Amino acid sequence: MHRNLLVDTTKVLMAMMVVGIHSALFNDVSAPASHLLVEGAFRIAVPIFFVFNGYYLADGIQNQKNIYSLTRKILLLYVFWMLVYSPFYAYVAGEQPLVALRRLARTLLVGYFHLWYLIAMVYAMLLLRLMRNWSRSRLTLAALALFGAGTALQYLNYYGNLNLPVWLYRNGIFFGLPFMLAGYLIRTDKNRYPATQVGLALIVGLSMLLAESVLSNTYGRVGHGVDMYLSLIVTAPATAMLLLRFSNTTNSDHLSKLSGGVYFIHPLMMSLVFYFSKTAPPSWVLFLSTTLLCLVAFFPLYFLSKRRSFIL
């Protein structure tokens, strides 16, 4: 199978950005600069993942048999990694049984920590299947409306006094579906817009992202992450469109698997770094150590995935 080499390379970089987010990279060096990275530039990573998902799943969702196979594959991946991380969420000391049951049910429905991405993809993919015969304009409006609603909830939470749970807006409906719709629309007409227009949209989107991250640093609530910026609905699809125009291909799936491996296993590797550190390591040490451990752990994971595809 021919794969886009630049897309797969970008996915590895995006996975490393997620590690940077969870490492709070450079927060101990310069909080404002760290915010521009961690709560700014790096926030483009997951939206781009969703855009690529929508692009490459566009053909599969047209067929009932394919959608069943795709859903089963992602759910198996989700169940496997939820089991791997179950020691982190399965038990809370002193928790009442009924409270624990509700919490576990909610965690299974929305995903633990970074695994929200997988279950959100399932929800978004099934919704996209239902919407597959909609007109291009209707799909575009749906993507904009849903992402706008989700971002509004995020803004109310971040700039206001609300304490909304993050899963209320960072989910398959308000986050995953809009970007997967963008990828789906790109697939149906990849060359609809000239490269110059896409490049201009990317410049505008990145400028808006910078402005939004500065505003969030100045006026936002301390200690709260920002997952959704309005500019991302422009920046992520524009980035994906430019990358997909390059035709360099590879027959290897190593890079694609590596991006998944880094994404799925990095919290475990980060926990190991903390466990063996006598004191909290500097953020750049945490980032580099976690990344290197992920690279080492990837090799056995990759070979295991050859036997059990639900691992990666």
pLDDT band at 1 (very low <50, low <70, confident <90, very high): low
pLDDT at 178: 98
- Per-residue pLDDT tens for 241-300? 999 988 777 778 889 999 999 999 999 999 999 999 888 899 999 999 999 999 999 999
pLDDT at 223: 67
Q: Return the higher-pLDDT residue of 177 and 308.
A: 177
Is the pLDDT assigned to residue 312 strictly greater than 90? no
Closest residue by Cα to residue 186 from 147, 146, 229, 238: 238
- Per-residue pLDDT tens for 150-188? 999 999 888 877 788 999 999 999 999 999 999 999 998
- Per-residue pLDDT tens for 116-153? 999 999 999 999 999 988 999 999 999 999 999 999 99
CA pair distance 176, 147, nearest whole angstrom: 9
Kindly report which listed range (23-27, 109-113, 133-137, 220-224) carries the lowest average pLDDT score.
220-224
- Per-residue pLDDT tens for 5-24? 999 999 999 999 999 999 99
Is the pLDDT assigned to residue 193 strictly greater than 90? no
Q: CA end-to-end span of the chain, whole Å? A: 17
